[in-house]
């Protein structure tokens, strides 16, 4: 590829696949090793994306290539003590699955087995049909071709987790997934992988907490991939809270495919992170499928937050709605790329997208690229993007009523983010996420 | 952007060029150069135009740079690779037979002329009918010229300006679109044959719309047109380019460059109606219109406004842009683009905010019908120092029929917190309710479509000078013929 | 003038009109009343030829000529006018442009020359004066931002300018307050003429207090189930449609 700097190993970023990665792969899983081998070839062919690749126009991964990452050592129990600081979460309502450095930690997790019809198991250790499910779907929803970081994840993943909710089952309590990194003294990279399958008519809520220490002595690369398959009329609410400190590279790819009348609702709240890329692609594969993607981000310092979405309407009467709002302080930079594709067969599509950013400081920047690509005619599609500062007139109005400037500013930002937060249909999550966002504002 | 012709290169080129120069010319019949592109052709063009050395040097630099450039591939258009050697770059032999009367022309074209309401004598000239001496367009032109001279406005072919006003041309040519800009503009820099040059002196408000009477001349412009317009301090000029009448040309590739420079308090309004041959209903033939248009608002309080109605060409690749350097400068882009049958258009604008309190406004109305594919591609960039910048963008697409496509690709880069940038876009199908309502009142389906589409485009149409607007409105309807029913 | 013969029609495959027969003589005003869902608006759209309203049987004639196989614009040119219940907004197109296009389209169909801008404005002014309307409505885009009353007045203005043989008024009273209703009714009354027939479609009787019909028909379940003089409307106002709905079932 043009513009790439040659390194000792030929292709930029290839060291990420050095020995040590993927070592924990269980024996006797020929489909998995084949998948990983193919992905390793894919990654080797593509290398790390440069800004010449349109999908990475505004996010530069060049710094990654400068770092000699290595895979985390298995079961580093020493780090668990330091992790407890990160685990300030309230006791779980239902199941809580804890991952450290991308590895499932049964000792820290709690599996609520009181609900029937759901299984949570590693790709290779699940009951017969879950194993078959993983073998059938893994790498098919998030594909390695033309997505170097998915290829890297696939090549580098150890075992991952499959969550499977069976037909017609409505989970009463949310499933929590907690992903932790520790303050390791050397650069670590890990590639967590999750597969979520809801059979026809199933309903579930999944809440992810992604945590990283505020400061890390050495940079870490977290390169996670989540694949989601929803059957007919299945409904998944997928909420993510990312409290990622001030350093590190956090790359999250979510890919979902939706059946007839299925609904995928997702919300991501991001505070911090050195470089964060949240990429979500949803394929509305069957008639009546609907997705609602929303998010709020609050970044400062020299953080870089990239929200990239791709929604592809491939069937009639499919719907998408996106609302993303963020505040950018310090010399931080936010990126929003939202692409909506409506294929010829997707007549009756409704698609609506909004992205707004507030710049709070002189060095703050935002780059936005909303994009509509439409090949059907019976459609209603729109997008809006805006950037600006806090409305001065509103600020003055509040101050004239005696509200101190700092409070007035906070109130207005809260109102601004509220449009996004109100997209969360689960009241408890909405409340908790709002609290987190507002606390960030309070502390700034 | 540096002034062309650094001494060393000049000498070199002279040495290299000299030995070929005359020998080459003698090989060539009169005003015709053979097919193909080479350094010799570039030298030939320059020699035929009796250009000064600095311009030849500049052309050659462009040519050599062009050789190293890849084809731009980012636009959402598809076509087979261009064979640059299979084209004429100077006085391509055109087989335009002189016709005896309007009865001899393609009835399809005649019908369009009538629908547009073009006066008979203009129809004759457009169609290449031998015109009676009674109608003398030259004398009309002369009257206008006299008036412009009174005001000190220079308006002439750019080849003439090179001879008569070399200091102005040398100062500004390539200063907005450098010869290294993009493959098509670079090609133009190497081989441009002619185009318009306008200079409006300080404080002068140009007394007429330039080139309104120029329809006829415009029909004869070459395939590598080069236009340079300079509005000096406090001046104003409105320039009209193109023609609502369908324009046919044997050359497939058109790569024009337009550069605008507005100094302090100056304003340039540039309106285009582009109706080149779009190819037939099966998508055979048609012009590739790859145009680079850019204006620099160099001065404080300057303003550049682009208005375009793009209905022709098989492929349109065009992004009239504004570089808002001067504080308080204003950039505007108003666009209507129609793609029908197998036409493809990738068009939009760039608004680069560099100065303080710079403002820009974008209204784009895209209509896609038949198998047409259309993309709005735009960039709004607010640099860190562009305190108080404002942009508003409205981008609407209308779809007629289920086999066309409409795409919207805006890039919005806001790097100053006091800037306010707003972008809105919609895409929807032409409303059945509106069409039915019109038909119930007795309008034919095609007329109903034309009416509804004209309403959709109104915000842009009203930016056009009056006499242009009326024809453009008719053109919208004509362009969509056959798209419904 | 308007003759509807055993008309059957379906919408999305569902039978709505099930053998409707009705004749409105020249210069007459007839009213069609009926409960919600009886097929009143369907009748209006079927007559005007809207897509999706499929005629499965029967016929209708204006001035002795069947319009069934004609496109909507050809029906309009044959003298059929529909005043819409919900007139659509057409942004960017001024009312005067719209009306002139319509007038000239109809003139052309009769082999008459186009009206130029000046002639048209003269005609429009004259009609507006007679209806007590102001010029301002001509300049605004078609129905955009119009109040309910303005939209209905605009429909009547179009009626006045296009001079149809048959005017079908679909729920012209809906969404109007008493004053607006009177204004519109006065205008319609002014347009009654010996060579023009009106078919008023309405749910309530109050419009018929203002525009007194020659005949009143009750439409239920896709058929005319009762006819009478103006007194029938008042009876309906007292007793409701229940009896007729039952009869139709």
Q: Which residues of B touch A389 (CB under 8 A)?
A: 417-418, 420
Predicted pLDDT of residue A406? 87
The 10s digit of each residue's pLDDT in B10-59 is: 443 343 333 323 323 333 334 567 778 899 999 988 988 889 999 999 99
Q: Which residues contact A359 (CB under 8 A, 6 or more apart)?
A: A328, A365, A366, A387, A388, A389, B414, B416, B417, B419
Predicted pLDDT of residue B415? 96
Predicted pLDDT of residue B246? 65
Taking one residue from B and the other from C, the number of pairs with CB-CB distance under 8 angstroms is: 79
The nearest CA of chain C is from the CA of B406 a distance in Å of 21
Q: Which residues contact C30 (CB under 8 A, 6 or more apart)?
A: C22, C24, C197, C198, C199, C200, C213, C214, C215, C216, C217
Predicted pLDDT of residue B99? 62
Contact: C158, B459; criterion CB under 8 Å: no
The 10s digit of each residue's pLDDT in A111-147 is: 876 778 898 888 877 667 788 888 899 999 999 888 9
The nearest CA of chain C is from the CA of B242 a distance in Å of 25
Contact: C92, B455; criterion CB under 8 Å: yes
Contact: A374, B405; criterion CB under 8 Å: yes
Q: Which residues contact C3 (CB under 8 A, 6 or more apart)?
A: C22, C23, C24, C60, C61, C64
The number of residues in chain B equals: 485
Contact: C76, B441; criterion CB under 8 Å: yes
Predicted pLDDT of residue B18? 33
- Neighbouring-strand partners of residue C215: C30
- d(C-alpha B337, C-alpha B346), whole Å: 9
Locate the chain A residue with the closest alpha carbon to B432: A378
Chains that touch C (3 or more CB pairs under 8 A): B
Tell me the two tokens of residue B84. 């640059």
Predicted pLDDT of residue B283? 83
The nearest CA of chain A is from the CA of B410 a distance in Å of 6
Show which of residues 350-379 on chain A sit within 8 Å of chain B, judged by CB atoms: 357, 359-379
Q: Does B394 touch chain A (CB under 8 A)?
A: no
Mutate to test the interface with B, among C88, C89, C109, C168 (most CBs of B within 10 A): C88
- d(C-alpha B433, C-alpha C142), whole Å: 13
Q: For A43-90, what is the HEC assignment?
A: HHHHCCCCCCCHHHCCCCCHHHHCCCCECCCCCCCHHHHHHHCCCCCC
Predicted pLDDT of residue C117? 87
Contacting B with CB below 8 Å, chain C residues are 48, 50-51, 71-73, 75-77, 81-82, 84, 87-88, 90-93, 97-99, 101-102, 105-106, 109, 141-142, 158, 162
Axis crossing angle, helix C95-109 with helix C117-131, rounded to the nearest 10: 110
Predicted pLDDT of residue B466? 79
Comparing CB atoms, the residue among B432, B439, B454 nearest residue C73 is B439
Comparing CB atoms, the residue among B400, B418, B427 nearest residue A372 is B427
Q: Which residues of C touch B440 (CB under 8 A)?
A: 48, 72-73, 75-76, 81-82, 84
CB B71 within 8 A of CB B81: yes
Predicted pLDDT of residue B127? 59
Comparing CB atoms, the residue among C50, C73, C84 nearest residue B444 is C73
More confident residue, B69 or B467: B69
Predicted pLDDT of residue C148? 87
Mutate to test the interface with C, among B440, B452, B459, B476 (most CBs of C within 10 A): B440
The nearest CA of chain B is from the CA of C213 a distance in Å of 24
Residue A440's H or E segment, with its range, is helix A427-443
Query: What is the DSSP-derived secondary structure letter of residue C13?
Result: T
Axis crossing angle, helix B432-440 with helix B445-456, rounded to the nearest 10: 130
Predicted pLDDT of residue A299? 95
Contact: A384, B406; criterion CB under 8 Å: no
Helices within B49-182 (DSSP H only): 53-68, 107-116, 120-127, 137-151, 158-164, 166-172
- d(C-alpha B2, C-alpha B260), whole Å: 17
Locate the chain B residue with the closest alpha carbon to A365: B415
The 10s digit of each residue's pLDDT in B350-381 is: 999 999 999 999 999 999 999 999 999 999 99
Contact: A383, B429; criterion CB under 8 Å: no
Predicted pLDDT of residue B134? 35
What DSSP line would sit under B19-68, residue for residue?
HHHHHHHHHS-TT---SS--HHHHHHHHHHTT--HHHHHHHHHHHHHHHH
Cα C13 off chain centre by:
25
Residue C14, classed as helix, strand or coil, is: strand
Predicted pLDDT of residue A4? 31
Q: Does B408 touch chain A (CB under 8 A)?
A: yes
Query: What is the DSSP-derived secondary structure letter of residue A17?
Result: G
pLDDT band for position B147 (cuts 50, 70, 90): confident
Does B contact A via 3+ CB–CB distances below 8 Å?
yes
Locate the chain B residue with the closest alpha carbon to C159: B441
Does C contact B via 3+ CB–CB distances below 8 Å?
yes
The 10s digit of each residue's pLDDT in B160-193 is: 899 999 999 999 999 999 999 999 999 999 999 8
The nearest CA of chain B is from the CA of C170 a distance in Å of 13
Tell me the Ramachandran region of residue A378: left when phi exceeds 0, alpha when psi lies from -120 to 50, beta otherwise.
beta
Residue B484 predicted with pLDDT over 80: no
Predicted pLDDT of residue B293? 97
Predicted pLDDT of residue A419? 92
Predicted pLDDT of residue A84? 56
Predicted pLDDT of residue B444? 92
Mutate to test the interface with A, among B339, B408, B417, B426 (most CBs of A within 10 A): B417
The 10s digit of each residue's pLDDT in A306-351 is: 999 999 999 999 999 999 999 999 999 999 999 999 999 999 999 9
Chains that touch B (3 or more CB pairs under 8 A): A, C
ipTM > 0.85, yes or no: yes
Q: Does A89 touch chain B (CB under 8 A)?
A: no
Q: Which residues contact A380 (CB under 8 A, 6 or more apart)?
A: A349, A350, A351, A352, B426, B427, B428
Q: Does A347 touch chain B (CB under 8 A)?
A: yes
Mean pLDDT across chain A, nearest whole number?
A: 87
Stretch B199-203: mean pLDDT: 97
CB C98 within 8 A of CB C138: no
Contact: B442, C88; criterion CB under 8 Å: no
Residue C233, classed as helix, strand or coil, is: helix
- d(C-alpha C46, C-alpha C39), whole Å: 10
Q: Does B414 touch chain A (CB under 8 A)?
A: yes
Contacting C with CB below 8 Å, chain B residues are 431-434, 436-445, 447-448, 451-452, 454-459
The 10s digit of each residue's pLDDT in A272-292 is: 889 999 999 999 999 999 999
Q: Which residues of B touch C87 (CB under 8 A)?
A: 437
- Neighbouring-strand partners of residue B230: B199, B261
Q: What angle do CA C82, C83, C87 make, to 5 degrees?
A: 115
Residue B133 predicted with pLDDT over 50: no
Residue A375 predicted with pLDDT over 90: yes
Mean pLDDT across chain B, nearest whole number?
A: 83
Least confident range of B56-60, B195-199, B302-306, B334-338:
B195-199
Q: Which residues of B touch C81 (CB under 8 A)?
A: 440-441
Predicted pLDDT of residue B203? 96
Q: Which residues of C touch B459 (CB under 8 A)?
A: 92
Predicted pLDDT of residue A9? 34
Contact: B445, C71; criterion CB under 8 Å: yes
Residue B213 predicted with pLDDT over 60: no
Stretch A210-219: mean pLDDT: 82
Query: What is the DSSP-derived secondary structure letter of residue B198?
Result: E
Does C contact A via 3+ CB–CB distances below 8 Å?
no
Predicted pLDDT of residue C38? 86
The nearest CA of chain B is from the CA of A250 a distance in Å of 23
**pTM of the prediction?**
0.87
Predicted pLDDT of residue B309? 93
Predicted pLDDT of residue A24? 46
Look up tokens 């000529």; give the residue.
C65
Q: Does B407 touch chain A (CB under 8 A)?
A: yes
Predicted pLDDT of residue A14? 46
> Consecutive 10-residue runs of chain C (249 residues): their mean pLDDT?
94 93 94 88 93 94 94 93 93 90 91 91 89 82 90 91 94 85 88 93 86 92 91 86 69
The nearest CA of chain A is from the CA of B308 a distance in Å of 22
């Amino acid at each position: 590829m043009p513009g790439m700097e040659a390194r000792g190993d030929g292709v930029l970023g290839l060291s990420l696949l050095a020995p040590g990665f993927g070592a924990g792969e269980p024996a006797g899983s020929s489909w998995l090793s084949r998948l990983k081998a193919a992905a390793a070839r894919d990654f080797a062919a593509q290398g790390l994306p440069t800004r010449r690749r349109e999908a990475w126009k505004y996010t530069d991964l060049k710094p990654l290539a400068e770092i000699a990452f290595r895979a985390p050592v298995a079961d580093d129990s020493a780090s668990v003590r330091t992790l407890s600081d990160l685990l300030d979460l309230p006791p779980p309502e239902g199941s809580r699955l804890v991952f450290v450095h991308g590895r499932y930690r049964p000792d820290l997790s709690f599996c609520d087995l009181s609900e029937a019809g759901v299984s949570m198991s590693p790709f290779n250790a699940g009951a017969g049909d879950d194993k078959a499910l993983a073998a059938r779907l893994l790498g098919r929803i998030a594909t390695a071709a033309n997505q170097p970081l998915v290829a890297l994840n696939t090549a580098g993943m150890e075992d991952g987790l499959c969550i499977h909710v069976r037909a017609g089952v409505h989970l009463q309590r949310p499933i929590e997934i907690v992903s932790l990194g520790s303050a390791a003294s050397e650069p670590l990279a890990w590639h967590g992988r999750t597969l979520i399958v809801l059979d026809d008519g199933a309903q579930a809520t999944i809440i992810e907490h992604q945590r990283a220490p505020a400061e890390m002595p050495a940079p870490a690369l977290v390169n996670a991939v989540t694949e989601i398959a929803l059957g007919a009329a299945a409904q998944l609410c997928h909420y993510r809270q990312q409290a990622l400190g001030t350093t590190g590279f956090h790359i999250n790819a979510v890919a979902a495919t939706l059946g007839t009348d299925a609904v995928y609702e997702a919300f991501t709240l991001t505070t911090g992170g050195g470089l964060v890329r949240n990429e979500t692609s949803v394929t509305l594969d069957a008639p009546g499928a609907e997705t609602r993607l929303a998010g709020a981000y609050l970044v400062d310092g020299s953080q870089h937050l990239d929200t990239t979405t791709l929604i592809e309407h491939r069937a009639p009467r499919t719907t998408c709605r996106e609302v993303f709002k963020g505040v950018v302080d310090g010399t931080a930079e936010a990126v929003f790329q939202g692409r909506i594709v409506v294929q010829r067969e997707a007549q009756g599509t409704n698609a609506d997208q909004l992205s707004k950013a507030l710049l709070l400081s002189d060095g703050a920047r935002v780059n936005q690229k909303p994009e509509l690509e439409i090949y059907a005619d019976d459609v209603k599609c729109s997008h809006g993007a805006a950037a600006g500062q806090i409305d001065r007139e509103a600020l003055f109005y509040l101050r004239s009523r005696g509200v101190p400037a700092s409070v007035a500013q906070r109130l207005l930002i809260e109102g601004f983010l509220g449009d996004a937060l109100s997209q969360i249909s689960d009241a408890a999550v909405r409340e908790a996420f709002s609290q987190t966002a507002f606390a960030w504002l309070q502390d700034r | 952007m540096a002034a062309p012709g650094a001494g060393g290169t000049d000498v070199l080129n002279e040495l290299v060029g000299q030995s070929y120069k005359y020998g080459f010319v003698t090989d060539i019949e009169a005003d015709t150069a053979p097919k193909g592109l080479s350094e010799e052709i570039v030298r030939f063009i320059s020699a035929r135009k009796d250009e000064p050395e600095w311009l030849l040097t500049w052309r050659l630099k462009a040519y050599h740079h062009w050789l190293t450039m890849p084809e731009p591939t980012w636009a959402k258009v598809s076509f087979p690779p261009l064979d640059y050697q299979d084209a004429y770059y100077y006085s391509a032999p055109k087989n335009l037979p002189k016709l005896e009367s309007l009865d001899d022309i393609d009835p399809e074209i005649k019908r369009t002329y009538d629908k547009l309401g073009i006066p008979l004598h203009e129809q004759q000239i457009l169609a290449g009918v031998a015109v009676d001496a009674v109608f003398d367009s030259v004398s009309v032109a002369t009257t206008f010229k006299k008036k412009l001279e009174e005001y000190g406005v220079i308006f002439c072919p750019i080849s003439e300006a090179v001879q008569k006003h070399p200091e102005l041309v040398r100062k500004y040519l390539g200063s907005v679109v450098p010869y290294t800009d993009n493959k098509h503009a670079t090609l133009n820099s190497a081989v441009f044959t002619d185009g318009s040059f306008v200079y409006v002196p300080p404080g002068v408000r140009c007394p007429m719309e330039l080139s309104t009477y120029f329809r006829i001349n415009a029909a004869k412009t070459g395939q590598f047109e080069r236009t340079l317009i300079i509005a000096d301090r406090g001046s104003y000029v409105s320039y009209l380019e193109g023609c609502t009448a369908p324009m046919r040309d044997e050359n497939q590739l058109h790569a024009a460059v337009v550069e605008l420079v507005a100094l302090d308090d100056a304003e340039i309004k540039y309106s285009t109606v582009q109706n080149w041959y779009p190819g037939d209903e099966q998508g055979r033939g048609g012009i590739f219109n790859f145009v680079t248009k850019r204006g620099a608002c160099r001065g404080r309080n300057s303003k550049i406004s682009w208005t375009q109605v793009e209905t022709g060409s098989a492929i349109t690749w065009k992004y009239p842009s504004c570089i808002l350097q001067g504080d308080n400068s204003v950039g505007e882009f108003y666009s209507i683009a129609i793609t029908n049958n197998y036409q493809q258009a990738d068009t939009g604008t760039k608004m680069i905010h560099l100065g303080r309190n710079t403002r820009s406004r974008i209204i784009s109305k895209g209509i896609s019908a038949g198998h047409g594919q259309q993309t709005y591609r735009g960039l709004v960039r607010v640099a860190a120092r562009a305190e108080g910048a404002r942009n508003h963008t409205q981008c609407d697409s209308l779809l007629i029929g289920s086999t066309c496509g409409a795409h919207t690709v805006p890039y919005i880069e806001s790097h100053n917190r006091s800037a306010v940038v707003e972008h809105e876009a919609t895409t929807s199908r032409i409303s059945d309710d509106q069409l039915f309502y019109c038909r119930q009142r007795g309008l034919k389906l095609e007329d109903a479509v034309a009416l509804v589409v004209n309403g959709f485009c109104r915000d842009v149409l009203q930016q056009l000078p009056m006499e242009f607007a009326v024809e453009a409105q008719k053109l919208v309807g004509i362009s969509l013929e056959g798209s419904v029913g | 003038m308007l003759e509807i013969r055993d008309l059957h029609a379906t919408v999305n495959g569902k039978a709505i009109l099930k053998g409707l027969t009705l004749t409105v003589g020249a210069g007459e005003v007839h009213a069609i009343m009926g409960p919600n869902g009886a097929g009143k608006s369907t009748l209006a759209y079927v007559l005007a030829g809207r897509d999706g309203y499929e005629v499965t049987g029967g016929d209708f004639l204006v001035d002795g000529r069947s319009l069934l196989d004609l496109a909507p614009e050809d029906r309009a040119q044959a003298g059929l006018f529909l005043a819409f219940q919900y007139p659509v907004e057409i942004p960017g197109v001024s009312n005067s442009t719209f009306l002139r296009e319509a007038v000239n389209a109809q003139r052309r169909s009769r082999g008459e020359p186009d009206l130029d801008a000046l002639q048209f404005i003269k005609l429009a002014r004259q009609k507006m004066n007679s209806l007590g309307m102001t010029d301002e409505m001509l300049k605004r885009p078609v129905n955009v931002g119009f109040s309910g009353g303005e939209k209905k007045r605009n429909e009547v203005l179009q009626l006045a300018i296009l001079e149809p043989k048959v005017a079908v008024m679909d729920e012209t009273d809906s969404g109007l307050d008493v004053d607006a209703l009177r204004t519109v009714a006065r205008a319609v009354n002014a347009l009654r003429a010996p060579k023009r027939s009106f078919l008023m479609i309405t749910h309530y009787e109050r419009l018929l207090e203002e525009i007194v019909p020659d005949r009143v028909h009750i439409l239920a379940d896709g058929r005319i189930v009762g006819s009478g003089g103006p007194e029938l409307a008042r009876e309906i106002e007292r007793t409701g449609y229940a009896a007729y709905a039952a009869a139709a079932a």
